[in-house]
Each structure stands twice: as structure tokens, then as C-alpha cells.
Amino acid sequence: MPSGKKEDAMARLNMRELGRRLGVDRSTVSRALNDEKAHLVAAATRERIREEAARMGYRPDLTASALRLGRSRTVGILVSDLANTTFIEIIREIMARLGEGQGSGAAITPLIAETLDRPEATKLLLRTFLSRRVDAIISLASTELDVEALQEAAAEVPVVLAVRSIAGASFPSALCDDDAGGAMAAAHLAARGHRIVCQVRGPQTAATFKNRARGFSRVCAERGLTEVGIAVEARSATTSEGKRALEAILKEPVRPTAAFAHNDALAIGLIEAMRQNGLDYPKDLAVIGFNDTELSRVLATPLTTVAYPIVDVGRHAGTLVRTLIEDRSARWATGVFMPTLVARGST
């Protein structure tokens, strides 16, 4: 007997055996184990069948189901830096939204990959996702250099942007109002009496950091703050780049009294470099970050930061993906959510 027919026969035999044990018809077992037809079986009976099936070692054939339904039940997710816990928390919210109301057999599996903000890595990973027949792609790592690759992918599957937008490109998106967040940081420093300030900028190919810089500079101009233009733009938004920024700050002929780092990793790197140079915060340099990560809260002197709207962004991204998987022609609306300032001891 060909292997495929043998496996089918074994599946039928297992269902008959399962039905015999539970005192139900084989067709009832089949419907209970089929996510598309499970609603036809009473809830109590369905759960009893699924529990006994799991105990017997029954596993649904997800590959066959994907071929039958035309869906792989996978989504590709791009992140720029897996060490950034904000991305991980947003992915959790996305997957929680995608899993709402779904049975265990209908769960969507995320395929997560890191770009490190390298355009060539983004292109390769997008091609890999498409070759694996993902149902959708979510990018938390988009930069201005990725537009063409993302548009090509969007011709095949829904592509949703979260966290980072791309100026001049139209994708369904779930975003933070980063301009407002930067403005909050500048207003806070002004209220604390600082008059000479600087920014530790993230890569300006990412709209996230460009918008934070714009909001900060606008409020500095409105409030009469002098913004020192340090000659460092981080190559990546990481602690190592934050450390590198301190060298430029110390070389400024007019030393700033406060710095706005475009994320908490940059801020913590800056603080660590200060410690290594015998400097103290906020006495020698007040520091404010962005994201409100766990580490920012447990420093000896906790970090003032702008809290990212993780739940709102993650849930909206999940809603967009779920809607567009069901119907690619569905109307969608980009969501932009407001961050909040969290004042702590670093300023």
C-alpha cells in the first residue's frame, strides 16, 4: 500500500478506535478534530474527544490542512534587534490578538528573524518568508532602504508595519506618535531647568528615530533651549552605540547638562560610559530614554523615559494582520498611539 494511503488508513483506524472508546460515531470524532467543522459538535463532547485524542498521541496533519485551506498558519516577523525587549513585548501582543477565539489546532506560528537594520538581510529574510508560504509579514524593522523589498513582498501576501513607518510609502501600520514622544522629552528637560541639551540619535534611516528627533528639536526651539549637535549618529540603537556617544558629548566646547537618548538601550550605554569615566547622572549629565524597558526601572537611579504604547501598537498590528489574512481587499486604517512620559531619578 502506498505510504500516503497507509497513513490515511491509520488516521481512519485511530478515529474509529477513539470513537469506540468514547461511545461516539467516527464522523463526530472527525468533525471535533477539524477546526473548520468543530463548531458542529457540542462543546463538552468536542473537548472530551480532543483530550482523549491528545492522550492517545493523535496529532493533526497541519501540512495537509494548509494545502487544503490555502494557508500555512504562519506569519513572518522582522525585528531589527532581538535584544530590544520592547519588540518582544509587542510580538506577544500581536500573537495574542491573532490567537483570540482560535482553537489550539488553528494557532498561528510566528517565524521571527532579526535584520540588524541591514537592507540586504531584510531582502533575504523577506524572500525566505515568501518561500515558506507565510500568510502575512509583519515588519518591526522597516527603514527607508527597505521600501522596494517590502512592496515586492506585499504583492504576494499582506505586509503590515509596526513600530516603524516609512515616509512616502503606504502600508497598513500600527505606530507610536514618536514626534509627540520627543516633544515630551524636551518639555520635561525644560521644566527641570535645563538650557543646554543634546540628543543621542538612533539611525536616521528609521522614521521612528527621525520623528523623535524632530519633536525634540521643535520643543527645544519653542522653549529657548540650546541644542548641542553632537557629531554622532548611532549605527544601531544599542548600548554599545550609547557608550560611543559619550565621547562626542565630552568633546563639545559647550557641555550639555542633559541628553535625550532615542531609546533606553542608548541611554543605558551612555550611563555606563559615564560610570566608567567617573561621571554621575543626573549630577554631571541628566539622561532621558524612550521605551520604558524593564532595565530602565531597576537601575540604581531609575531612568526617566517615554513609555511606549506596547499594548495599543501590538493589538492594532494583530488586528490588521488578522483582517487582511481573511480578506486582502478589506479596508484598513493605520493606528497611531500616544506614548507617556515616566519621570524618574535620572533627570
Structural domain includes residue 314: yes
Question: Going along the chain, which residue ranges are E strands?
Answer: 74-79, 109-114, 136-139, 159-163, 173-176, 196-200, 226-228, 258-261, 286-291, 304-307, 335-337, 340-342
Q: What is the pLDDT of residues 279-299, one digit of tens each?
A: 999 999 999 999 999 999 999
- 21 or 277: whose pLDDT is higher? 277
The neighbouring-strand residues paired with 306 are 290, 341
Mean pLDDT over 83-112 rounds to: 83
Same-domain pairing of 296 and 319: no
Structural domain includes residue 66: no
Q: What is the pLDDT of residues 185-227, one digit of tens each?
A: 999 999 999 999 999 999 888 899 999 999 999 999 999 999 9
What is the value of pTM for the model shown?
Answer: 0.78
| CATH number, position 206 | 3.40.50.2300
Instruction: Give the total number of structural domains in the chain.
Output: 3
State the cell numbers at 184: 515630551
Same-domain pairing of 157 and 53: no
Rounded Cα distance between 92 and 272, Å, is 29
Structural domain includes residue 343: no
- The confidence score (pLDDT) of residue 6 equals 42
Structural domain includes residue 167: yes
Structural domain includes residue 347: no
Q: Best-predicted range by mean pLDDT among 24-33, 68-77, 221-230?
A: 221-230
Kindly report the number of other CB atoms within 10 A of residue 156's CB atom.
13
Rounded Cα distance between 270 and 96, Å, is 34
102 has pLDDT over 80: no
Same-domain pairing of 56 and 144: no
Q: What is the DSSP string of 234-267?
A: -SSSSHHHHHHHHHHHHH-SS--SEEEESSHHHH
Structural domain includes residue 264: yes
- The confidence score (pLDDT) of residue 4 equals 47
- pLDDT band, very low/low/confident/very high, at 32 (cuts 50, 70, 90): confident
Same-domain pairing of 143 and 214: no
Q: What is the pLDDT of residues 172-182, one digit of tens each?
A: 999 999 999 99
Mean pLDDT over 120-138 rounds to: 94
Mean pLDDT over 41-51 rounds to: 84
Comparing CA positions, the residue from 267, 80, 263 lying closest to residue 162 is: 80
Check residue 281 and report its DSSP letter: T
Check residue 146 and report its DSSP letter: G
Last residue of a domain, one of 39, 60, 81: 60
Mean pLDDT over 139-153 rounds to: 94
Structural domain includes residue 112: yes
- The confidence score (pLDDT) of residue 12 equals 46
Mean pLDDT over 147-166 rounds to: 94
Expressed as residue numbers, the domain containing 162 is 72-176+310-338
Same-domain pairing of 102 and 244: no
Rounded Cα distance between 37 and 173, Å, is 33
Structural domain includes residue 19: yes
Same-domain pairing of 171 and 183: no
Same-domain pairing of 34 and 23: yes
Q: Cα dihedral sign for 88, 311, 146, 66?
A: positive
Mean pLDDT over 71-76 rounds to: 84
Mean pLDDT over 320-347 rounds to: 94
At 342, give phi and psi (nearest 5°): -120, 105
Mean pLDDT over 115-141 rounds to: 93
